[in-house]
Amino acid sequence: MDQKVPISRDMDLSPYRVFTEREWAHLRADTPMTLTGSEVAQLQGLNDPMSIEQVEKIYLPLSRLLAYYAEATLGLYQATQTFLGINDSKTPFIIGVAGSVSVGKSTTARVLRALLARWPASPKVDLVTTDGFLYPNAVLEAEGLMQKKGFPESFDRPRLLKFLSDIKAGKRHVRAPVYSHFYYDVMPGHTVAIDRPDILIVEGLNVLQTRELPKDGNAVPFVSDFFDFSVYIDATEELLLSWYVERFLRLRETAFRDPSSYFHKYSRISDTEAVETAHRIWSEINLVNLRENIIPTRPRADLILTKDESHRIAKVALRKI
């Protein structure tokens, strides 16, 4: 009879190597700091503080890592073209940035863009958010999806996939739709042209989402299929809720006061009602989306940045396989 091999219960099967802030900071090596304190302050988002110390300890090492990835990926593209005997136009290096509402995706994406654009080779770096690929409110209302805005089904996925396909193909002046958080809607007729960048950062809630696989086996591309590297910004549900409420209250005192704002009605309610409203929106929409669609994509990221209560990156997990 064959003897069974005992299974080690403490075997580390995680595909990630985890670093503390201090351990990760050492990996900066001699990467130069190219941003000033005032520039970092301008890049941070509402209720998402970013210190120059965090840039030095977290984002400079990440910039160094991405430089290695970009160089290796370019070499792979060139080797493939040599094998095929073709000479296509350059293929942009695409970075995906994912995570929950209020976790600070936009700040991370802007800081990365600023750092990468100041590499010695001065690459052309563009940034696109997937909010522009949401269906317009009129479509969402007609389809009964306004309460699921931000869920995978609320995005025009074919349009987003076509955009990324054209970018990867090196096409010129590829246009992306523009979204306004002030009006809470896609802006009709407004687009931004992305013209053959060296690096493109794509930021959004569900950029690592796979959705359902086809049962017939037909090829169905996912947004993440176009990424060369992906980052997931992580935090506990409790922190995300508190940050969302804080941001909601700050917007209530600023942007919501403008009569043209979609959320102007919330500027006229009491403080207690505002807090209750923020909690309700979070629990009925954002938390559901987080649990059902966003958190399940976290293990698909190449890098996971975990925040603590002060918005600092306290832990870094880098995929090792």
CA 98 from centre of chain: 3
Per-residue pLDDT of the chain (321 residues; tens, 9 = 90+): 455 545 445 556 789 999 999 999 999 999 999 999 999 999 998 888 999 999 999 999 999 999 999 999 999 988 988 999 988 777 899 999 999 999 999 999 999 999 999 999 999 999 999 999 999 999 999 999 999 999 999 999 999 999 999 999 999 999 999 999 999 999 999 999 999 999 999 999 999 998 766 677 676 789 999 999 999 999 999 999 999 999 999 999 888 999 999 999 999 999 999 999 999 999 999 999 999 999 999 999 999 999 999 999 999 999 997
Domain residue ranges in the chain: 17-319
CB 201 within 8 A of CB 95: yes
CA 276 to each of CA 126, 263, 285: distance values in angstroms, whole numbers, following the listed order: 38, 15, 14
Predicted TM-score of the model (pTM): 0.93
Output the pLDDT for position 13.
Answer: 72
Instruction: Label residues 15-51 b or e (16+ Cβ within 10 Å = b).
Output: ebeebebeebbebbeebeebbeeeebeebbbebbebe
CA dihedral 139→209→218→163, nearest 10 degrees, is 60
Q: How far apart are CA 225 and CA 191, in angstroms?
A: 24
In degrees and rounded to multiples of 5, residue 257 shows phi and psi of -70, -20
Q: How far apart are CA 174 and CA 165, in angstroms?
A: 10
Output the pLDDT for position 213.
Answer: 65
CATH code, 17-319: 3.40.50.300
Strands 229-234 and 93-99: parallel
Output the pLDDT for position 90.
Answer: 77
